[in-house]
């Protein structure tokens, strides 16, 4: 490590590069981003090499030595050299946003000026400034309060307009799962009429986990926007949705359980940037916004009731009370996460549902929700059955499909033959619906997505190749038909 004052007649760029030797320089595992971690006011901060945070640190240290700021060209040259050293000459390190984990601990970044982090283990939690993991700060991140021990997570219910006990259990389970460093994460969907405090509930939940200067967002324009948002925040919350286009439903399903997104780095070149993340997601809307089976299979759907006029209160009072309670609520949430960490390896469910890791984790924490053993799985099973019913109700091919199989119980043929048959037995009004398949391939795709839900109502869907030409055929079987 060189001392800038020891350099003979150094240029400004050389002085800046020597200052950078007092930081730890490294790159992300994909080799795309250079970082610098340095001590500032007694704590460690980590910034991308191209960020304002690192640039300000360099300029401040330069000014302390030279009593003047560096020239812009010298700063540009130094940053280019530092970035090259980080990307090509140093080790890699994982860098997380808000939540990270090791083998036996979870870390939650408080995102405060002291860069403090909460360490959660199976024995409890503590605030530390020296975690074994590395966090970065994205634009818009807001700090969490210092957690206070002794709180009760059930106190959160007074800030949420929930309809049933099962809804509370599922929301609490979502919160505890959202502090896990890896998914899968169920998508929290809040339905309700205008004035049922859907947006308020989303704000409250996010403020307890991942507060942001823009806590709720409008529907994104494209998948690129979704993935960039996911790269720069831990929780994504989309507000006041009226409809989920197919591309957005698919993107959110991938965010819940994992899946990469690739795009060109610049529209003028062929290099790709790959974003592969899992994130907790909150959606809210008046209408039933999630209707595609694959996303419904990953969703917790809560129906918020109407609020009586005598229960309403001024926003200033509401948020003042919540801010006062937030440190205790955060402490109680961390207690629940600690409970899950302590007991999740001992959980043995009779049957593993979709999002099995989430179910195991939530079961391990259910005592911290104020539940008795088995309450979570009962609530989750009921919610999944309701989601299955919604998926079938939202698809216009289901009634004629069931009618086709009633009595005979079996149908076999190509997708073209099936579409022709269904078209002949439905009204023109139904066939004009946007959700009605217009091509055999579209019909086959719908059947594949709905297969788990259809199985729940006793209708089995399978695909095979038959005949001399090996034509792909669809086989439909209705259990109990004709009996």
pLDDT at 267 over 50: no
Mean of pLDDT values over 258-274: 55
Residues 203 and 346 occupy one common structural domain? yes
Mean pLDDT for the chain overall: 89
Which pLDDT score, from 0 to 100, does residue 469 have? 56
Q: What is the pLDDT of residues 320-365, one digit of tens each?
A: 999 999 999 999 999 999 999 999 999 999 888 889 999 999 999 9
Residues 182 and 248 occupy one common structural domain? yes
**Residue 112 within a domain:** no
The top-scoring range by mean pLDDT among 51-55, 119-123, 277-281 is 119-123
Alpha-carbon separation of residue 183 from 209, 247, 252, 445 (angstroms): 15, 21, 13, 26
Give the span between the Cα atoms of 198 and 190, in whole angstroms. 6
Alpha-helical runs (H) found in 281-407: 293-296, 315-343, 356-365, 375-394, 398-405
| DSSP character string of 430-453 | HHTSTTS--SHHHHHHHHHHHHHH
Mean of pLDDT values over 270-278: 65
Which pLDDT score, from 0 to 100, does residue 269 have? 47
Q: What is the pTM assigned to this prediction?
A: 0.85
Residues 209 and 233 occupy one common structural domain? yes
Confidence tier at 88 by pLDDT (50, 70, 90): confident
Which pLDDT score, from 0 to 100, does residue 266 have? 45
Q: What secondary structure letter does DSSP report for 163? A: -
Nearest to 212 by CA among 307, 111, 120: 111
Mean of pLDDT values over 154-175: 95
Which pLDDT score, from 0 to 100, does residue 195 have? 85
pLDDT at 272 over 70: no
Mean of pLDDT values over 116-133: 96
Give the span between the Cα atoms of 258 and 296, in whole angstroms. 16
Q: What angle do CA 191, 141, 122 make, to 5 degrees?
A: 80
Residues 318 and 410 occupy one common structural domain? no
Alpha-carbon separation of residue 130 from 64, 92, 456 (angstroms): 26, 19, 50
Q: Do 166 and 262 meet the contact criterion of CB atoms below 8 Å apart?
A: no
β-pairing verdict for 187-191 and 281-285: parallel
Query: Which distant-in-sequence residues (6+ apart) come within 8 Å of 408 by Cβ?
Result: 481, 482
Mean of pLDDT values over 166-191: 95
Residues 294 and 434 occupy one common structural domain? no
Q: Do 388 and 291 meet the contact criterion of CB atoms below 8 Å apart?
A: no
User: Hey, what long-range contacts does 410-413 have (CB within 8 A, 24 or more apart)?
Assistant: 410/475, 410/476, 410/477, 410/478, 410/481, 411/474, 411/475, 411/476, 412/466, 412/473, 412/474, 412/475, 412/476, 413/473, 413/474
Give the span between the Cα atoms of 370 and 355, in whole angstroms. 23
pLDDT at 127 over 80: yes
Q: What is the pLDDT of residues 12-27, one digit of tens each?
A: 999 999 999 999 999 9
**Residue 148 within a domain:** no
State the CATH number of the domain containing residue 220: 3.40.50.300
The residue out of 69, 89, 109 marking a domain boundary is 89
Confidence tier at 270 by pLDDT (50, 70, 90): very low
Q: Residue 475 pairs with which residues in a beta bridge?
A: 412, 462
Q: For residue 418, what are the domain limits?
A: 395-478
**Residue 82 within a domain:** yes
Confidence tier at 4 by pLDDT (50, 70, 90): low
**Residue 121 within a domain:** no
Q: What is the pLDDT of residues 419-477, one digit of tens each?
A: 999 999 899 999 988 889 999 999 998 898 888 888 878 889 998 876 555 678 899 99
Main-chain dihedrals φ then ψ at residue 295, nearest 5 degrees = -80, -40
Alpha-carbon separation of residue 210 from 97, 105, 180 (angstroms): 10, 19, 13
Q: What is the pLDDT of residues 368-409, one digit of tens each?
A: 988 889 999 999 999 988 888 877 887 889 988 988 888 778
State the CATH number of the domain containing residue 470: 1.10.10
Q: Do 387 and 452 meet the contact criterion of CB atoms below 8 Å apart?
A: no
Residues 167 and 302 occupy one common structural domain? yes
The top-scoring range by mean pLDDT among 3-12, 300-309, 343-352, 358-367 is 358-367
Tally of domains within the chain: 3
Residues 383 and 407 occupy one common structural domain? no
pLDDT at 1 over 70: no
Confidence tier at 312 by pLDDT (50, 70, 90): confident
Residues 355 and 367 occupy one common structural domain? yes
Give the span between the Cα atoms of 166 and 161, in whole angstroms. 13
Give the span between the Cα atoms of 470 and 463, in whole angstroms. 12
Residues 382 and 402 occupy one common structural domain? no
Main-chain dihedrals φ then ψ at residue 271, nearest 5 degrees = -70, 145
**Residue 119 within a domain:** no
Q: What is the pLDDT of residues 107-123, one digit of tens each?
A: 999 999 999 999 999 99
**Residue 24 within a domain:** yes
Main-chain dihedrals φ then ψ at residue 382, nearest 5 degrees = -65, -40
**Residue 274 within a domain:** yes
pLDDT at 146 over 60: yes
Confidence tier at 263 by pLDDT (50, 70, 90): low
pLDDT at 7 over 70: no
Confidence tier at 483 by pLDDT (50, 70, 90): very low
Q: Give the three-state DSSP class for 411.
A: strand
Mean of pLDDT values over 264-273: 49
The total of other beta-carbon atoms located within 10 Å of residue 468's CB is 5
**Residue 139 within a domain:** no
Which pLDDT score, from 0 to 100, does residue 32 have? 79
The residue out of 339, 372, 391 marking a domain boundary is 391
> Which region among 63-67, 179-183, 370-374 has the lowest average model confidence (pLDDT)?
370-374
Give the span between the Cα atoms of 178 and 183, in whole angstroms. 8
Give the span between the Cα atoms of 210 and 203, in whole angstroms. 10
Q: What is the pLDDT of residues 411-428, one digit of tens each?
A: 989 999 999 999 998 999
Residues 379 and 403 occupy one common structural domain? no
Residues 351 and 405 occupy one common structural domain? no
The residue out of 70, 89, 108 marking a domain boundary is 89
Residues 436 and 357 occupy one common structural domain? no
Nearest to 395 by CA among 354, 426, 353: 426
pLDDT at 172 over 50: yes
Confidence tier at 274 by pLDDT (50, 70, 90): low
């Amino acid at each position: 490590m060189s001392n800038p004052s020891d350099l003979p007649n150094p240029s400004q760029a050389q002085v800046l590069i020597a200052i950078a030797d007092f930081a730890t320089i490294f790159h992300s595992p994909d080799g795309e981003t250079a970082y610098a971690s340095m001590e500032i006011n007694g704590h460690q901060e980590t910034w991308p090499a191209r960020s304002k945070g690192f640039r300000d640190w360099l300029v401040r240290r330069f000014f302390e030595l030279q009593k003047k700021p560096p020239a812009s060209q010298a700063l540009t040259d130094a940053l280019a050299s530092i970035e090259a050293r980080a990307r090509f000459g140093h080790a890699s390190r994982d860098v997380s946003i808000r939540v990270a984990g090791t083998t036996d601990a979870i870390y939650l970044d408080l995102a405060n000026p002291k860069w403090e982090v909460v360490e959660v283990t199976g024995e409890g939690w503590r605030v530390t400034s020296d975690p074994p993991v590395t966090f970065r700060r994205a634009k818009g991140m807001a700090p969490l309060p210092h957690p206070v021990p002794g709180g009760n997570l059930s106190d959160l219910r007074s800030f949420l307009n929930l309809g049933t006990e099962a809804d509370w259990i599922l929301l609490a389970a979502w919160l505890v799962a959202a502090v896990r460093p890896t998914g899968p994460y169920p998508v929290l969907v809040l339905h309700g009429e205008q004035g049922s405090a859907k947006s308020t509930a989303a704000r409250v939940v996010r403020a307890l986990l991942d507060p942001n200067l823009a806590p709720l967002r409008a529907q994104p324009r494209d998948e690129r926007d979704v993935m960039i948002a996911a790269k720069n925040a831990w929780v994504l919350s989309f507000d006041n949705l009226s409809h989920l286009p197919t591309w957005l439903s698919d993107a959110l399903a991938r965010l819940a359980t994992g899946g990469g997104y690739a795009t060109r780095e610049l529209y003028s070149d062929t290099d790709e940037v790959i974003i592969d993340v899992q994130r907790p997601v909150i959606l809210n809307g008046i209408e039933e916004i999630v209707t595609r089976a694959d996303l419904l299979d990953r969703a917790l759907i809560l129906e918020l009731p109407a609020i009586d006029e005598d229960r309403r209160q001024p926003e200033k009072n509401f948020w003042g009370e919540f801010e006062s309670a937030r440190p205790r609520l955060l402490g109680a949430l961390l207690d629940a996460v600690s409970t899950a960490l302590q007991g999740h390896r001992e959980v043995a469910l009779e049957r593993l549902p979709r999002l099995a890791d989430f179910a195991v984790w939530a079961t391990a924490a259910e005592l911290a929700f104020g539940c008795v053993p088995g309450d979570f799985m009962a609530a989750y099973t009921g919610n999944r059955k309701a989601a299955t019913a919604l998926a079938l109700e939202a698809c216009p091919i289901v009634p004629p499909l069931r009618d086709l199989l009633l009595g005979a119980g079996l149908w076999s043929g190509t997708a073209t033959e099936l579409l022709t048959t269904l078209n002949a037995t439905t009204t023109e009004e139904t066939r004009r619906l946007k959700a009605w398949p217009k091509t055999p391939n579209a019909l086959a795709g719908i059947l594949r997505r709905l297969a788990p839900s259809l199985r729940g109502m006793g209708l089995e869907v399978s695909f095979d190749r038959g005949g001399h030409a090996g034509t792909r055929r669809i086989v439909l079987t209705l259990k109990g038909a004709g009996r």
